Structures are given as C-alpha cells and as structure tokens.
A and B are shown apart, each in its own frame.
Chain A
Amino acid sequence: MIEANKLTKTFRDRKRGLVRAVDRVSFNCQPGQIFGLLGANGAGKTTTLRMLGTLLEPTQGTATVAGFDVAKQPEDVRRSIGFLSNGTALYGRLTAREMLEYFGRLNGIEGAPLRARVDELIEQLEIGEFQNGRCDKLSTGQKQRVSIARSIIHRPPVMIFDEPTTGLDVMTSQTIMSFIEKCRDEGLTVVFSTHIMSEVERLCDKLAIVHHGKIATEGTVSDIKRQTGEDVLENAFLKVAHQLDAQVEG
C-alpha cells in the first residue's frame, strides 16, 4: 500500500522565489485499488509521484510505499514499484528483449528465472514479433508495450503511473488503461495521475483533485460530484479549482 503524510516539496526559483510545488499532500491507497491524482499541468502531480518513486526527496512530510519509507529506504521502495510515465523512455540502441533483460538484472533477476520472466512478458504483451528489433525502430504502440513489460519485470506490488497516456493515440491509450485495470484486478496498489477526466471516471476507485500543490478534495468520483453538486466531473473539477483559487486570493 501507499501512505503519503503531509508530503511537501519546495524549491527555489530565480524569478518566483520559494515555490511550494507540493503542499502537505496526504492520501493512502490500498492493494487492489486505483488512486487517481487529477489536476492541471503544473498542479504538483508529477512532483508528488516523483517523491513516491524516490526520484525527489520530500522537503517535509513522509510517505511509505509497500511498507518502506521513501526517505530512509529508497532502494527498497524502488524495488517495490513499477514506474511508468510519458517520460520513461526506452534505450534506442537496445533491442526490446535486451531492454527487458537489463531491467530484470537491475532488479536482481538473473539466469534462468530472468529468461523465463522475459519470455512470459514477451508472450503476454505480444512483443515476440519485434523482440529483437532495436527500440528506436519500434512504433509508439510497440514502445509502450515494451515500457509496460519493463515496469512489471520484477512483479512489483505497487504501480505508479504518471500521465502515462499523454501524447499517445487512442489505441495505445486503450492498451495502457487496460493494463492499469489489470494491475488492480491482480491486487496491485495503483497510483495514477492524469488531467483527462474520462480516464479518471473509467479507472479510479478514489481520486484527489490537486491544485497549486494542494489536495483540494478527495473521494470517489460520485463523492466529488455530490460534494460539488455537478453531474459532470469536468465541471466538478473546475468548481473545486475555482474555490481553492478564491480561498488563496481571499
């Protein structure tokens, strides 16, 4: 499971001074659940997920992932997560199979178990046809399948998806969303960030609307619609965001 407790990230910007990219964000996500972070660009979603993935160190607050503290046990955390974002690319001069073998080894899998796991994923994700093709020659859809395989090579109990469908076509986006659903169905803990409402409605068991680094509201999609009195999630999101803006200005 994932537990974030008042996670805060500040950084210094030459023009804006001290910026609170993430401001006391708290939430938890259980196994077999998809928790969504919904927010506009720059809201603090990526920074939050990067802190959970131990790419960034929290300025304040704590978080545990699969029982490991992100600040004190970063390597154990990374061993327990699969991280997929639109930014996590593939090595162009490696073949799809070599890419999977490499990340298998980085996760401590060697020899026969590694070969078996790679073969299993190649079959599951239908990579066989292009497994020996260099990654820089693959189509976007093929790359995305290799990326998925790369993220789950070590059977992580937690999956973190940071806007994984941004810039992808409908078909490839569908593959990713089906994969996220499959992760939940297999009992994995899933955190997912997006700014696409339809994805939230389809996937998230719980969600938090993130605005200016803060969680504005949290609950199920129905809860949030009820709280705001809106039938459409997009309108509910805008209402919550405007309310938070008004609070900040007031």
Chain B
Amino acid sequence: MSLTQVIFLKELRETLRDKRVILGVIVSPLLLTPCLMGAVMFFGSKKAVEQQSATLEVGIYQEAEFPELTQAIEANESLEITRYQSREESIEAIKTTASRAVVVIPSEARDTFLAHGSAPIEILYDPANENSSNAHGRLRGILGDFNKQQTQARLESAQLDPSFIQPTQITSTSVAESSAVSGFVLSIFLPYIVIMGAAFGGLNTAFDLCAGEKERGTMETLLVSPASRQDIVRGKLYTIFVVSLISAICSILGIVAAISFGQQIVTSLFGESFSISYLNLAALVAIVVPLALLSSAALLLVSTFARNPKEAQAYIFPFIVIFLFPAALSFVFDAESPLYVGFIPVLNIALSMKQLLSDAFDLPFFTVTLASSLAYAWVSIRLVASFFQKETILFRS
C-alpha cells in the first residue's frame, strides 16, 4: 500500500467518525433536504388549493346600474360582495382590507354596453397585498367570462360565426419528450443545490484535516513520519474530494427522491410529472467530479494557509463568493450559452448540468467545461502542494 493510500484511508476513517460530517454530508441532504422540500411543496400546494377555494371579499361601486355585469359577479359563490357609494370609500375599504378589490362601474358603462360598444370597467386593488392580487385575478376571470358570453351573444344576434372575430386558430404542439420538459424545470434549481453540495460538503473535513491538525499538534506528528509532503497533500485532498463528491451525490439523490415521492404535489404545482433517467443521473455525477476536485483543492488551500479552523472560517468568504456567485448566475444564464462561458469556473459546470437536464447537450461546451475545470483543479492542487513546501505557511505562528 502506498503512503498516499495509507494517509487517505486513515483520514477517511477519521472523517467518517466525525458526526458533523455525517450530519452535513449524508443525513442532511438525504433526509432533511427532501423533508424540507416536501414541506415547502406540500404547503405551497395546500396554499394554492386554498387560494382557489377561499371566499374573498370584493366590492362593487357603480355610478349607474349595470345589472347584467353585477349579476355575473354576484353569481360567483367564492366572492362576498359589498356595495360602496364612492370611489374614495372603495379605496379606503381596500386599504383597511374590508374588501380585497373593488369593481368600479362608470355611469356610461351600461349604455355603451347596450350600444354594442366597449364599456369601461375598472378594478381597484393593492398589488402589494397577496389576497388583493388574488381577488383581482379572480375578478378579471369573471369579467373575462362575461366578455366571452356577451361576445358570443353579439355574434349570434348579428348572425356571425365565432370565426368572424378569430381569423386564425392557433394550437401549439410540444415536440419535447415529457422528461425533457420536467428536466428543464429541474435544471433551474438542481445545479445550484448540487454545486452547493460539492463546494461546501467538504468544508468541515478540509478545515479539520489541515488547520485542525495544526491546532491540535497532529500535523507535526505526521510531518516527522516518512510520508513525503506530496503523499500528505494527496492523501488529504482525496479525502476531501470523496466527501465533497458524496455530498454532491447525496444532494442529487435527496432532490430526486423528494420529487419522486411527492410526484402528485409536484405535478399539481408545476403542471408536469417529473422523471430523470439513470443516464442523466450518471452524467450529472460525472460532471460534478471536476467541480468536487476544484472545490476540494480550494478548501485545502484555505485550510493549509490558516493557523487554525477559526482562522480558516475567516478566510472562507472569498471562497463562498467564488463558488456561490457563479452558481447563482446559472439561474439567469441560458443552457445554450456561448462557448467562452465554458471557461468560467463553476458557472460552466452549472450550465453543463442545465444542458444535460433539459436535453440541450452541447458536446463542445461540455468538453471545454470538463477540460477547463480539470485545469483549474490542477492549478489549485499545485498551489496546495507548493503551500505544503513553504515553512512560513506550514509553521506560521
């Protein structure tokens, strides 16, 4: 067994005995994340159902009678109607939440309507209030239905076919497979979560393996063993890499499990049933490998420089920015991005994941991503190795 292997196996054994690592890397993404996601989806779906069925208070202020319209509004059982005498009173009612939205019917509205014109109807509401926006939407729906009925009646009275006002009949047909559509939705948030898992999963381990060892005095014990500095760097790096990879895989599995178990809720929320192929899963894990290598080397770099874990925590901010910012950028970048984006570390991985999930796989982009990420990882590893040779860093006090 090589000395690198000896160090790696010992570090891994110690790491797996660390409860913080087990909790953060395995338990949290596999159990807590799915539970949290499930809870969010459950309450989100429950709220959506409640919003659809809840009775909302709305008002009507009419300067002149318009029975056809008011009857249509009053026929809706999910609305509780209050009449107002002025526009000011209506606005006040919305502000005090006595009514969530008010339909304002001007004096000339009915005459215009009867003359086959377009009657001006106004809806007052508060867009900053969720219930008010909801009531506004519901009123627009009712008024839309009223418009359709009246249009139909006008066409019939004029003995015209509905096609008279609809010169074209447009239908849209999706040619994407169902998995691609669901993958597209997954691609919006999954890369971010996986990158966080890969980047921060190895954080505790990295800080423990170098800065922690310096603080506890075990680094000196190891440095006087026959193991070379390269053996030590490699052994520690492989350990952090394995932990980061496990963390990223657990993040993927946790989300996929949450979506699979909550399929019904997901479908009701997004209108799509979700599925992800084993091939895509494997490709996701493969693309995470260079990222985990890069983040492991970066974390080890911070940990080697720091005198103790507390100091390492203080240096973590630039690391968070380097990984979090590009990961967050993936929300706004299209999967089909120009080739040069493949050179931007972390963002390139996130976009490659997006491509994989939404069936927009781009081989040149993927190749650039893989090659550049491995190159960045190699540079970071060389930097760690050089740090390990520097007495001023290793024995900094």
Contacts and interface: CB of A to CB of B under 8 A. Distances in A.
Interface of A: 11, 50, 53-57, 75, 78-79, 81, 83, 85, 87-94, 98, 102-103, 105-108, 110, 150
B225 A103 contact: yes
A54 B395 CA distance: 13
A90 B216 CA distance: 8
Contact of A56 (B13, B217, B395): B395
Contacts of A91: 10, 14, 218
28 contacts: A11-B391, A11-B392, A50-B395, A54-B224, A55-B220, A55-B224, A55-B391, A56-B395, A81-B224, A87-B217, A88-B217, A88-B221, A88-B224, A89-B220, A89-B221, A91-B218, A92-B216, A93-B17, A94-B10, A98-B13, A103-B225, A105-B6, A106-B6, A106-B7, A107-B225, A107-B226, A108-B226, A150-B221
Given A55-B220, A85-B220, A88-B220, A75 B226 contact: yes
Given A88-B218, A91-B14, A110-B1, 15 more contacts: A55-B220, A55-B395, A81-B224, A83-B224, A87-B217, A88-B220, A88-B224, A89-B216, A91-B218, A93-B13, A93-B14, A94-B10, A98-B10, A102-B10, A106-B6
Contact of B226 (A50, A88, A106): A106
B227 interface: yes
B150 to A, nearest CB: 77
Nearest to A162: B220
A159 B217 CA distance: 19
Interface in B198-238: 216-218, 220-221, 223-228
A90 B1 CA distance: 22
Interface string B166-189: 000000000000000000000000
A55 B224 CA distance: 7
Nearest to B7: A106
Contact of A89 (B10, B18, B218, B228): B218
B3 A90 contact: no
A17 B7 CA distance: 38
Contacts of A88: 217-218, 220-221, 224
Contact of A106 (B13, B14, B225): B225
Contacts of A102: 6, 10
Nearest to B16: A93
Contacts of B395: 50, 55-56
A191 B237 CA distance: 34
Contact of B18 (A11, A53, A93, A110): A93
A57 B18 CA distance: 35
A54 B227 CA distance: 12
Contacts of A108: 226
Interface string B2-20: 0100110010011001100
B6 A90 contact: no
A78 B220 contact: no
Interface string B370-397: 0000000000000000000001100100
Interface in B63-109: none
A122 B391 CA distance: 35
Find the residue from A56, A57, A90, A105 having the highest chain B CB count within 10 A.
Answer: A105
Nearest to A11: B392
Given A11-B392, A102-B6, A78 B226 contact: yes
A87 B221 CA distance: 8
A98 B11 CA distance: 12
Contacts of B6: 102, 105-106
Nearest to A75: B226
A187 B285 CA distance: 57
Nearest to A134: B17
Contacts of A55: 220, 223-224, 391, 395
Contacts of B226: 75, 78-79, 106-108
A211 to B, nearest CB: 21
A78 B1 contact: no
Given A57-B391, A105-B6, A94 B14 contact: yes
Contact of B224 (A78, A92, A94, A98): A78
Contacts of A103: 225
Contacts of B391: 11, 55-57
Contacts of A106: 3, 6-7, 225-227
Given A56-B391, A94-B10, A107-B226, A87 B17 contact: no
Contacts of B217: 87-89
